[in-house]
Structure 1
Amino acid sequence: MRHFSKKLSSDFFEDLKQYIASYTEMRSEEHNEAVELAFSAMDECYESTAELPPVYAMPMARRGLVADAPINIDIADKEPSFCDNLFNIIDEKNIKDSTVYKRADIDRRLFSKIRSDSDYHPAKNTAIRLCLALELNIAETERLLESAGYCLSLSSTTDLVIRYCIEHKIFNIISVNEAIDYFSGKLI
């Protein structure tokens, strides 16, 4: 374990342990329910197709019938990119770029690269650091991460620690990393 500043109290870590444990218990219950549901669906599918001729019982065979159908993709319906969303938030919050990249503890050149390339795809940790720097709530964080193709997983201890910190308005990168390190997670 790395040694950080010990700014976070033992009460903080106890509360965080309970938070993670509650998600672990919930995840276990949800997993059992999902497995039961999947088996039930498979049984229903088998029963409904058992009497049909083989060509109708096989979804792959039916897919071939529509494989030649044209695919229409409307580019105008494309969601805004991570960069578009990021800089909209920065503008709405009226924060200087320098404040954001300093709080996020990312290099000025990397931030400039993000600013200049609207299709830039950040690493997950970079996206999380920017969410923390902007002091986004959990819903805003999830939306911004989703626009980069990421999420805060309920099955990752590191992501649960980050979620906890955001929900408790702990946005300082060092404090968040200290909490992650306490659980031997990968620092952001």
Structure 2
Amino acid sequence: MKVIETEYKGYLFRSRLEARWAVFFDACGVRWEYEPEGYVLNNGQCYLPDFLLHDVDGRAGGDLHVEVKGKMTKDDAAKINQFSQGKHPLLVVPGIPDGDGIGDIESYCREWGRYGFPSFGGGPYPFNFQTIDGDYYVAHPSINKQGKFELFGDDSSYTMDRDDASTVQAFKLARQARFEYGQTPRVRKVRV
């Protein structure tokens, strides 16, 4: 099945999934760029991360690359692993988490972060700090209580500073974004 290129905010995304992640990042109020720069890896292959997020709060503070993957191949995994071994923190994300509450979203991230792509054995694992800082730990993209985008670790002591309602609303906006008939979702920073 072929993915559908999608236009949003002046960018032509390679898929609707990428465009929906852009809607999520907008709802979180994080500054992002789409495919801003490609890299030549140590083995000579080229790699172009999907997003570069700026001024991320928390453990993965600063700039963070994001790779959107609907499915993983061995070639994709090799490039991601080689890129993230260097000095480039990279969050791998699959589909937009589903659910009506923060518990549903946490479960979605936890399942992917621990077990990865069902048809692909091994890493890189989506929603996992392993490709960010080398620590095998589930990462939850969220909005903190200061209204900034942050990756929270899979531990209640870390998530105490997360704004659960705003995070759930940002994911809902991303899931509900429609592009089918040339529509452009109107997204504003979420603050519940």
TM over 0.5: no
The structure showing larger relative contact order (alpha-carbon pairs under 8 Å, at least 6 residues apart) is 1
Higher helix share: 1
TM-score normalized by structure 2? 0.23
Higher strand share: 2
